[in-house]
Structure 1
């Protein structure tokens, strides 16, 4: 009974804070017109989260689970995940609302968090990591390695890169975004110029429990280089010319009459036809052999 009362007291303390939510959150969703039932639904996620770890607060915006931006609270500005989204990140008209959400989330952590500590189950997700290239692999040409982290909860992680087991510096920030199901995913990018002997590794550490996931990347399925393409084109062209020459020689050779055919005044093709006709004419009159 005492445990239920404690939970009730914690929930009652949350009610005054709910009035601080923006009024737009309480507006009911407009019904979808009938003529749009056959259209595909899309989802835009605007997720603000805060926690007692690092990062302490974050905001991610995603379209169909593809992250578009994250919010840099130190600069109060949006940061695009890819350069193609930079123009859309210039609009900062909702910055006051984002700062309000940040303060509201931090108030929830400070006032409600201690009341619910040890009374609700703690969820954990072990990060799953994979590394791939942003563009098709070509040796000697600049490319970008992407370290993708899924099944992340809570979003407290550290990402490091290594090249032949040696730490690499100069990689960009880690982008964390929310996905359906109250879990998170993260991206880290490293600019490289791939070589055939490269071995890169992405090391992800889940700070809340010390779990570490490592993903390795080695070059494979690379596109042919320009030199190899030129060599293959040259070989193919040479074989084509050789095939044309051989074809012309064979045509001239078979069109030239044989010496024995000149004496009889007939061409080899006519002689061949007569031989075939003779064999067909006499084949039916050959008597069958009886076995007694």
Structure 2
């Protein structure tokens, strides 16, 4: 069942993203787009909207409600979650029909590219957020675990929904709120069918380089020396030029 699901999902993603790609040939100021998919593995379906590639909202299938990612988007807009749920149900029905008529060939899995970085410049002892960006993968089936000093972390974690890419793959963000310390190290552990083994992506706070008072003094002294050498060199060149202009032997015949 899973193999067929991945085949149909690839086709649905292709149809949607090709429509976006065609629209991209026209230069516009802003773009609203939506993504929807259905598959046999969890998550079995998703419906979401984007504005200029920023997630606006998604329909939570379990809670049966619209979840706005930014309050600014939800102030002047509304979306009935039932509309998204209906679209997912239709896609699931189409998936079942296409499954019965497919050759059960498994779609190729694309392994993810993972990057871990802090949301803000790191200051030890100051609250921050670690971001694990999982990019360019297919199908949208993923398991991500945060580790602190090798131990799983479950508090302060959140994630985005699966976000579509114009190359027919997906990307996703996972977040961890934390307080940076020089004693803690973090890993974003990613499991995906395109990987032979889980991917561990390491991050730890780097000690800021301390500039000593002696170093500052040396740098200032060097700057002063370079400035003086420049002044002396300029003065010598100007003096020579003036002397040459006054020397009759330096002038050519009339």
- Identify the TM-score tier after normalising by the shorter chain: 0.5 to 0.7
Q: Report how many aligned residue pairs link the two structures.
A: 192
Answer yes or no: is 1:135 the counterpart of 2:120.
yes
Match of 2:142 in 1: 157
CA contact (8 A) 1:142 1:192 kept: yes
Match of 2:47 in 1: 59
**Structure 1 runs of 4+ with >4 Å offset:** 207-211, 221-224
- How far 1:112 sits from its partner (Å)? 1.0
CA contact (8 A) 1:173 1:188 kept: yes
Match of 1:166 in 2: 151
* d(CA) in 1 for partners of 2:91, 2:208: 47
- How far 1:193 sits from its partner (Å)? 0.3
Return the match for 2:129 from 144, 153, 171: 144
Structure 1: which 5+ runs fail to align? 1-28, 240-292
CA contact (8 A) 1:179 1:185 kept: yes
* d(CA) in 2 for partners of 1:209, 1:59: 26
- Equivalent residue of 2:89, what SS? helix
Match of 2:102 in 1: 116
Return the match for 1:99 from 82, 85, 92: 85
- How far 1:172 sits from its partner (Å)? 1.7
CA contact (8 A) 1:130 1:215 kept: yes
CA contact (8 A) 1:137 1:223 kept: no
- How far 1:55 sits from its partner (Å)? 0.7
Answer yes or no: is 1:76 the counterpart of 2:64.
yes
Cα distance change of structure 1 residues 41 and 109 upon mapping to structure 2, 3 Å threshold = same
Return the match for 2:169 from 183, 186, 211: 183
Match of 2:199 in 1: 213
* d(CA) in 1 for partners of 2:83, 2:181: 47
* d(CA) in 2 for partners of 1:209, 1:195: 31
CA contact (8 A) 1:176 1:185 kept: yes
Given the two structures, how large is their TM-score scaled by the length of structure 2?
0.65
- Equivalent residue of 2:104, what SS? coil
More relative contact order in 1 or in 2 (CA 8 Å, sep 6+)? 2
* d(CA) in 1 for partners of 2:172, 2:209: 28
Given the two structures, how large is their TM-score scaled by the length of structure 1?
0.57
Cα distance change of structure 1 residues 89 and 209 upon mapping to structure 2, 3 Å threshold = farther
- Equivalent residue of 1:52, what SS? coil
* d(CA) in 2 for partners of 1:73, 1:92: 17
* d(CA) in 2 for partners of 1:114, 1:212: 33
If you compute each CA radius of gyration, which structure gives the higher value, 1 or 2?
A: 1
Structure 2: which 5+ runs fail to align? 1-21, 218-254
Measured against aligned partners, the alpha-carbon deviations of 1:97-116 in whole angstroms (never above 9, x if no partner) come to 21221111110111112311
Return the match for 1:199 from 185, 188, 202: 185
* d(CA) in 1 for partners of 2:94, 2:47: 16
Cα distance change of structure 1 residues 209 and 195 upon mapping to structure 2, 3 Å threshold = closer
